[in-house]
Structures are given as C-alpha cells and as structure tokens.
Structure 1
Amino acid sequence: MNTTSSRVAIVTGGSRGIGRQTVERLAADGYAVVVNYAGNQAEADAAVAAVTEAGGQAIAVRADVGDEKAVAALFDAAEQAFGGIDVVVHAAGVMILAPVVDIDLDALDRMHRTNIRGTFVVDQQAARRVRDGGAIINFSTSVLGLALPGYAAYAATKGAVEAVTLILARELRGRDITVNAVAPGPTATDLFLDGKDEETIARMAAQPPLERLGTPADIAEVVAFLAGPGHWVNGQVIRANGGIV
C-alpha cells in the first residue's frame, strides 16, 4: 500500500467485539488502522471493509500476540503500509472461567500466553516503535476489583497487565508516550455473553447505577480519549464500568 498517514494505530484483537469497535472509532478520528486478528480472516476483512467504505484506511494482519516473530512482522507491516506507528491498542484476550479448584491448567496456560505473554510481546514492540507523541493502551478488567467467583485465573492475568502498564509508563520517561489500561466492566460482547444464562446477564446488567451492560462503543470512546492529543493521563487504569464499585 505504501501510504503515509498522519496517525497510525495497531489494534490487536481488532476483528471482533471491543477491538472491532475500537478499529472503527479510531478510523473515524482519522487514523489509518492495522487490524490484527488471530484466526478469523473473514471477520478481520469485514472490519477493514467497514473502515474503507466509510472513507478510511485499514489493513488486516494475522498474528498470534504470544509469538514475538509474528508480532514483529505485524509492526513491520504497519510501518510498511502507513509509514510509522502512533498508537497501539492491545485488545486481544482470552477468558476461560472456572473456580480455582476446577480450573483446567491447560486453559490457564492459554490465558497466560495471550493475556500476559501477549502483553509483554506487544508492549515490547510498541515501546521500541511507537513514535513520540503516541500512546500504548492495554486492556485489564474491572473484575479485579469485584473479586467475582470463577474469575480467579482470568483476573490474575489481568492483574499482571496492570502491573506491566504502570511500570512501562515510567520506563518510557522522556519519550512523550503515554501508557494506560482500560478495565471494562460487564460489556455486551460474545466474550462476555458466551456461556451465561439470561438470569446471570440480567443480574450483572443491574449492578451499575446506569442499570445496563456496557457496549463496545462505550469502551471504544475511552480508548479514543486515551489515544488522542491530551497526554496528561499516563500510567493509569481507567475502570470503564458504569459505576460498579
């Protein structure tokens, strides 16, 4: 493509859910967007089509976020297509729920690979390549504060994400690059809704004072704010959950 864009964003997990909405939101703000996906090319192509049909620029690039060579190639593709990288949104994640006593350790390892190792791999490339004035945005979860039964393994991986986020922000001193994390509450995505009955969903929707589930668009607005020109929010975890405490 070899197009130079004024602002360029990579969104991991950009083919579905919050990642997909973030792709479209950033594109609406004028970003050229690299849509990273793990396996579903059709969904990634649909995200690219939505952006291009609205007059924006986007490409899709497949990469396992836990594979450092694949992620380096993802960043290479972004630089080759658009001339540089300004924002990295690491939205890719795996959530498998079970009590500690029952958790399948293979499932635990899978979450660790995507949620912890993936954050290190993506953030490492981002720290090396994001241009000054840019932003790195990771994803945590408001479950960390809620301590819901069944979420221990998932919440543990996201606790690691928060630690990496806060420390990386300080390691990038002098670079004019912000590093923050967004911690959604219950949000109406396939990842959240899968395996839950209507009663459970209704109960969780009633928890915030706003009395509804979040939407991917709600979370994408927070990402767009953190990606924007205001650079005084740094080294923070934004709990975007409608007021659940």
Structure 2
Amino acid sequence: MHVLILGGTTEARRLAEILAAEAPDLKVTNSLAGRVAAPRLPPGGVRIGGFGGAEGLAEWLGAHDVDALIDATHPFAGTISLNAATAAGTAHVPLLALRRPGWVPGDADVWHEAASLEEAAGLLPALGRRVFLTTGRMGLAAFAHLEDLWFLVRSVDAPESPRPPHMEVLLDRGPFTLDGEREVLSRHGIDVVVTKDSGGAATAPKLMAAREAGLPVVVVRRPPTPRGVPEVADPRQAVNWISDRLEQGILPASD
C-alpha cells in the first residue's frame, strides 16, 4: 500500500514519523515543494519539486499506485490544495486534508483581519511605522510600495526582490519562544505585527508578545479547504483515516 503526503509542515513530518514507527511495511512518500533550501526531511521516501499542476499530480498518483493522498501542506498553500482535490478526483484516490487549527483572538488582542497580503499592506500606514513582517519571504511584493515604513522581515531563507526599500532581514526558523519574541519586539522598536493565520504553537509566541505590549496585529485569513475534502486537525486522526481507507488492519486504530 502506498500513501503520498504533500508535506513541508510540522504536522506532515509528525504523520510520517508515526507511520514509520507503527506501519513499517506501508510505503510512504513525502512530497516537498522545494522552496526551502535546507528542509527538515521526514522519514520515508522523499521527493522534492512540483508535479506540473493537477494533471501532473493525477498522472503521478496513477503511475506510482498511490492508495491514499494526504494534503498536509501549509494552510496558505492554496494552489497545491486545489490541485490535490482535482487530481484525487481524476485518479479516484481518497484525499484527506490535515490542517492545524487557526488562531483565535483573546479579549486583550488588537487584531485587524485582512483577506490578502495586499489588504494587509493597505492597513499598515494607519497602524504603525515599524513593522514586524512574519509572512515569509514569498509575497513581499505586496509591501514594496510602502516607502515610509520600516520592516523587519523574518524568514527561513533570504527574500528576493521586489521587496520594501527599508527593511532588515532576520533569518530564523521556529519554534520561537515568548522571551525571544519579546526581545525582538523591544530591540527593533516594533509597533505593528503582520502574520498569516498559520495556526499551531511554533509561531504563536509572537501573538502573545504583541498582546503583552498592546501592539496591533494584522492577521491574514487562510483560504478555505477545497469543498468536499474531509479535514482533520491532528496527525493521529490522519493515521486512523488512512487505516480505515486501506482496510488492511496494518495500522493500530486509536481514539
């Protein structure tokens, strides 16, 4: 039996680890987009790079006899999620979306929601002058026209142009600590934070630090899961789903 995991996230890596430990006879292939120069590789087979759209993914599913497809990509990887839904339908392969839950604001949070990076950029001039931009290196073009603002851009790899003219790059990879995020905000005189609603605990401390400092946070809403695709929030739930789909009893079911 063959499971393809569209990964690159903590949840995808954890799912691969569980499958490697509990179902060593199950063939698992982890697909990474290749946007990070030195990704953390999960156990099992690994392929890096795109498939060539929905058609290419459907062909790959058929050519490699894939029995189940898990879309465990980043919550903002909307294109690959749509391609996965189309390809799974074409190849008649069961598809599951594994998505960490989104963040929920508390009473003390000062959040401003935006539907896109462009909308987030439009909100910034009225909120602050020194911006902590934590949306990754992709999409900086949306902020390139804001010549009166200063940006601290945090990403795993160095960003490319177009990008804001006044910026400093902080190369770092989560998980981050609350003390560390407090220090970043204080040292750089940050007065507004921009983030995507990625969810999860690894990057949540920035929200806690912003709450403590009373800073506004612009939160870009995540795209919805494609219609008709079942969704779970935990790797263990995905394991149980795979076990049900394969109906081979090779994976232990759990609550």
TM bracket (short chain)? 0.3 to 0.5
Relative to the length of structure 1, the TM-score reads 0.44
Looking at secondary structure, tell me which structure has more helix per residue: 1
Looking at secondary structure, tell me which structure has more strand per residue: 2
